[in-house]
Structure 1
């Protein structure tokens, strides 16, 4: 198992679990849409205040997203995503001494993020878009490859698996092979099973219960459970009231 990952100029020590703080610079993300992106622009003052608060509370990585990938989300243009992400990454790189991750599937956004100071590329589509793998390879950054069945707009329309854990494991194995084939060192790759991305609540809980099965990939695992709808299937709470349950699930993972 990898014990540390080079993330640009910084190193992510994996000798213990690490915490990722998410900064959505979008108007429509499910939990914080519109808080950091207002009146058609990124509010950098609010962004930096939120980032500093996250770091003070223990975050080790700040993850910037310029495209909402919530269930049913509408697509965003490359130009709009690029403007949102570059503005945020440049501000964070200048003011925050930490690893910056960028949640994107867009090759040009990957390249520009690397130029602006990002250390990790986090792709919910698993680097499957044309030229995404090459852009990731050229960046020299660490990668997080996630499993998602379908696309954000349609992924929750009756997701089906023969065995949710086995199917995800096989998908990740194939993606790791493709990543290695373009010359990317797997020592800088993280895997993410994609809780809430093309999975029912029952499938999500089964995945959580059997998460250890993914350790056979011999890669660090990123788990994103914060405020996910699987929690509301049990507690019937809106996103802003799911924090305690989110922490409990993260501790279980």
Structure 2
């Protein structure tokens, strides 16, 4: 995997470090911040705060994909997402839309979004690949085996690293066959999606294995279950609450950056923004000393 962090992606700036994607969940039921940003004005203000805190781009989602989540209607997702995308774009933010619906993706791009972040990688909606091809914006192909309501039962692997990469490569081929330019594609290992905690750690430990795909890698570990389990209360065994996992998230961000991640997706920006800059400075000092 490249260690330069230069982005070959259409319409996006080049970064000389791992980028920071701040999360704005416009949902009542997301696992760590559901309901906090349902009001569009508050959501826009929060997203712009994330930019001021060091986020390079902001990812807006109107449908929870936490384990067990039930899908909302297309109309409700559009109602939640579009005012926030418009407000953030007007405020000067670089915006990504987190959606599995082609209609939402297309409307968000028309409103100024510059990335389509589809956790299904184009599998949930047969029209999504066509939208990505027509709009020409970067398109995230994440590893995905099924909808949130049932995904925990799909976490069965022999070699999780090899199988996840192989499945993502097949989906990359499918979206390219559907008209998406290979230069648009970003890949994502899908931490927490049809994965056990052990699977998540194995994937993080081998991010270098993704270099064979030749595409930028997005790592989305923020506040996820495998961190809660790692940080469980030593007496009760209860997982660390989601909003108390940000220091661990920043540590994962630095480690992902050191393995060449193009960007890391996080709820709490300042610590991760510092972490990726520290990693970049260390890398520059190391490379300059050769």
Q: TM-score scaled to structure 1, two decimals?
A: 0.92
Give the superposition deviation at 1:158.
5.6
Q: Deviations over 1:31-73 (max 9, x none)?
A: 1100011xxxxx1221122112211111001000010000000
Q: Root-mean-square deviation (CA), in Å?
A: 1.5
Give 2:228's aligned residue: 232
Question: Tell me, what secondary structure is at the counterpart of 2:219?
Answer: coil
1:108-123 aligned within 5 A: 108-123=103-118
Give the superposition deviation at 1:98.
2.6
Q: Do the aligned partners of 1:107 and 1:135 also contact (CA within 8 Å) in 2?
A: yes
Partners of 2:245 and 2:95 in 1: CA distance: 25
Give 2:84's aligned residue: 88
Which aligned runs of 4 or more in structure 1 are off by greater than 2 angstroms?
1-7
Pair 1:19 & 2:20 matched: yes
Question: Tell me, what secondary structure is at the counterpart of 1:11?
Answer: coil
Give the superposition deviation at 1:101.
0.2
For structure 2, list consecutive stretches of 5 or more residues without a partner in the other structure. 233-239, 257-290
Instruction: Count residues with an aligned counterpart.
Output: 245
Which of structures 1 and 2 has the bigger CA Rg?
Answer: 2
1:23-102 aligned within 5 A: 23-37=24-38, 43-95=39-91, 97-102=92-97
**Relative contact order (C-alpha < 8 Å, sep 6+): which is higher?**
2
Give 2:260's aligned residue: none
Q: TM-score scaled to structure 2, two decimals?
A: 0.81
Q: Do the aligned partners of 1:62 and 1:99 also contact (CA within 8 Å) in 2?
A: yes
Q: Do the aligned partners of 2:29 and 2:35 also contact (CA within 8 Å) in 1?
A: yes
Partners of 1:6 and 1:232 in 2: CA distance: 33
Question: Tell me, what secondary structure is at the counterpart of 1:225?
Answer: coil
For structure 1, list consecutive stretches of 5 or more residues without a partner in the other structure. 38-42
Partners of 1:59 and 1:5 in 2: CA distance: 19
Pair 1:223 & 2:219 matched: yes
Question: Tell me, what secondary structure is at the counterpart of 1:227?
Answer: coil
Q: Deviations over 1:89-117 (max 9, x none)?
A: 1111112x232000111011111011100
Pair 1:162 & 2:188 matched: no
